[in-house]
Amino acid sequence: MKLLHIDASILGGNSVSRQLSAAAVERLRKTTPNLDVTYRDISATPFSHLSGEHLAAAHGARPETPAVRDDIAASAAALDEFLAADIVVIGAPMYNFTIPSQLKAWIDRILVAGKTFKYSEKGVEGLAANKRVIVTISRGGFYGADTPAAAGEHLETYLRWVFGFIGITNPEIIAADGIQIGPEQREKSVAGALHAAGALQGATGQQAA
């Protein structure tokens, strides 16, 4: 069984989302013999943002610059990693109410017509429904449906839509909220999220003890 682990935070060892994604992967390692894990740090090695040259290449034109040619090759590798994975674990912090731009650039590599979705007479059909996606989220404040800031939440809502678009309708979300409110709240939120990561259903169906 193959697992793809993605981290997007720019904070390195100080990142809560990285801590949570690592805990989720460790939980799955313990419950799944011979789990094959591929790790990609898209903050340390980011994809470039899409350009006209990228789009032209997607329609058959030869890329004009070596940088874009290299990026297109890396994009194909990222798509292959995603397609090969049975489980995808993503560490996703909230930056200014939404996902990091590095994560958006990666998503641009996996939302590919004919690979992860297709158009038909019935509309859009997701082609990645057989995958399990776990997203570990960190947010500085509180953005629940019953909070004043709910309308500003464009991290979890966006990711749920993106993965639903390609057929993954029930991504598992583990969230640490309010981590910038104060030390006590941060500790409480991280502890709760780590507990949730440790209680994930194993890849083989095993529950936490």
Query: Does 165 belong to an annotated binding site?
Result: no
Confidence check: pLDDT of 18 > 90: yes
For the stretch 147-161, pLDDT in tens is: 999 999 999 999 999
Measured CA to CA, the distance from residue 54 to residue 111 in angstroms comes to 14
Exposure string over 116-130, b if 16+ CB within 10 A, otherwise e: bbeeeeeeeebbbee
Number of structural domains (the chain) is 1
Domain containing residue 74: 2-109+131-158+172-198
Query: Does 1 belong to an annotated binding site?
Result: no
Average pLDDT over residues 116-124: 94
% of the chain exceeding 70 in pLDDT: 97
Query: Does 139 belong to an annotated binding site?
Result: yes
Measured CA to CA, the distance from residue 28 to residue 30 in angstroms comes to 5
Query: Does 75 belong to an annotated binding site?
Result: no
pLDDT band of 204, cuts 50, 70, 90: low
Q: Which token pair is 154?
A: 């464009």
Query: Does 167 belong to an annotated binding site?
Result: no
In a domain, residue 152? The reply is yes
pLDDT band of 50, cuts 50, 70, 90: confident
Tell me the CATH number at 27. Answer: 3.40.50.360
67 contacts 48 by C-beta, under 8 angstroms: yes
In a domain, residue 89? The reply is yes
Query: Does 138 belong to an annotated binding site?
Result: yes
For the stretch 61-72, pLDDT in tens is: 888 788 888 889
Query: Does 9 belong to an annotated binding site?
Result: yes
Query: Does 40 belong to an annotated binding site?
Result: no
Query: Does 95 belong to an annotated binding site?
Result: yes
Q: What element of type H or E holds 91?
A: strand 87-93
Measured CA to CA, the distance from residue 186 to residue 176 in angstroms comes to 8
